[in-house]
Amino acid sequence: MKLFRSSLLCSSLFAGYVIAGSRIWQPPIDDNAALQKRYFHVNPDANIRGYEATVWPDKTIRVCYRDRATKDKFHLDLMAAHQIWVRAGLGEDFRIEAASDADCADQEKLKDCLLVSTGDSLATTPGFPTEDSFRRKSGNRGPEMSLSDDQTIGMLSKVPNYAHELGHSIGLYHEHQNPNFWATGDQIKYAEGGTVFGPSNNNNWRCQNLKDYTSAVIGLVVQNPRGQQNVDRSDLCKDWAYAKSAGFSAGEYLPMPASLGFSQPGKTGGDVDWKSIMIYPSGAGAIDGSGDPEDPRMPILLDHKGKRIPMNRSPSQLDIHAVRGMYGVKDSKGRQLLNKARNFPKIYDLSKGTSGCL
């Protein structure tokens, strides 16, 4: 659930598991409206050059594991995570299958497979990198996924955490990092005038509760001994790119550049998909101390009414519609993606092309 610091990214699945056939992947035309509501998603048209990521060919994620131990550790739970999407209505035409041992051993063919590794956190490459993507050109790498079975992170349950990561691999970004939802009056970079998130919106952005806040600030003091650390400290909680460059987890919450995805006009609490599996629960990445038996972590981000965002352990119907739309719509209309912007290589390098989870 974040835009990860790890160079390995996270999100989908498993060897030898194939789901077969229904018509759910031929969505009706009115699914386009639902697709527009889902703000961040990869470009669904692989035929348009110049974009960073697209959908998986033939709706099929082909998987390789870093080693046998990784497969033994995660395979069954990843299958269970995929079933969470299927039960929510994804449809059985979406396939997850093992790549052959020969393909996994071939460095060229491996770049078209999802490489799953064991990590100490969660991280995923969103979607399927295009041939002219910065990721392939700069690092000559394909999609990757780093998984952890730590059940004190994310939704406090490993299988739902993996389902969230699967959402990234399918092509979805974080719901809460939509810049349309963030208030501009708080001087938060990339914010686009929303009334949902930010200090001025019921003080619902509580960056200081992040586990690594203190260490991030101390790191800046060490790096800036001449008294400039106060300015930098403020930027840590206001600037996605700055937080990412500092390796600070606020980069998994703060709004990303609008040019990264496709925008919809909504800026209010009613426009947020609060049931999305792609939105962080309020405690993700936080220190303990809330006193809540369900989630002992302090809140980082609250909803527009000042209430905690719940742990959504299953995709919402808007999540499902968004995926159907991405894999069924041939035309992509929306803002230019980040990799077409002049400063794309600099910004993209900060996130290593990943989406992750706290």
Q: Please give the mean pLDDT across all residues of the chain.
A: 80
Task: Answer yes or no: are the C-beta atoms of 300 and 283 closer than 8 Å.
Answer: yes
Provide the pLDDT for residue 29: 29
DSSP state, 99? P
Compare 45 and 283 and report the one with higher pLDDT.
Answer: 283
Nearest to 138 by CA among 313, 324, 353, 293: 353
Residue 154: pLDDT band (50, 70, 90) is very high
Looking at the DSSP assignment, which residues form a beta bridge with residue 147?
118
User: CA–CA separation, 65 vs 83, rounded Å?
Assistant: 20
The pLDDT > 90 percentage for the chain reads 56
The pLDDT > 70 percentage for the chain reads 76
Provide the pLDDT for residue 41: 78
Compare 187 and 18 and report the one with higher pLDDT.
Answer: 187
Nearest to 271 by CA among 344, 200, 176, 184: 176
Helices 68-88 and 317-328, interaxial angle, to 10°? 100
Segment 84-130, tens digit of pLDDT? 999 999 988 888 888 999 999 999 999 999 999 999 999 999 999 98
Q: Is the pLDDT of residue 3 over 70?
A: no
Domain boundaries defined on the chain = 30-42+175-329, 56-170
3-state SS track over 226-295: CCCHHHHHHHHCCCHHHHHHCCCHHHHCCCCCHHHCCCCCCCCHHHCCCCCCCCCCCCCCECECCCCCCC
Nearest to 278 by CA among 236, 305, 317: 317
Residue 81: pLDDT band (50, 70, 90) is very high
Residue 33: pLDDT band (50, 70, 90) is very low
Segment 207-250, tens digit of pLDDT? 999 999 999 988 876 666 555 555 567 889 999 999 998 899 99
Provide the pLDDT for residue 128: 95
Q: What is the mean pLDDT of residues 348-356?
A: 54
Spatial neighbors of 21 by CB under 8 A, at least 6 apart, are 92, 93
Nearest to 156 by CA among 322, 352, 311: 311
Give phi and psi for 54, each to the nearest 5. Answer: -140, -165
Residue 284 burial (10 A CB sphere; 0-12, 13-18, 19+): buried
Give the range among 62-71, 257-266, 339-348 with minimum mean pLDDT: 339-348
The b/e string for 299-320 (b: 16+ C-beta within 10 A; e otherwise) is bbbbbbeeebbebbbebbebbb
Task: Answer yes or no: are the C-beta atoms of 263 and 254 closer than 8 Å.
Answer: no
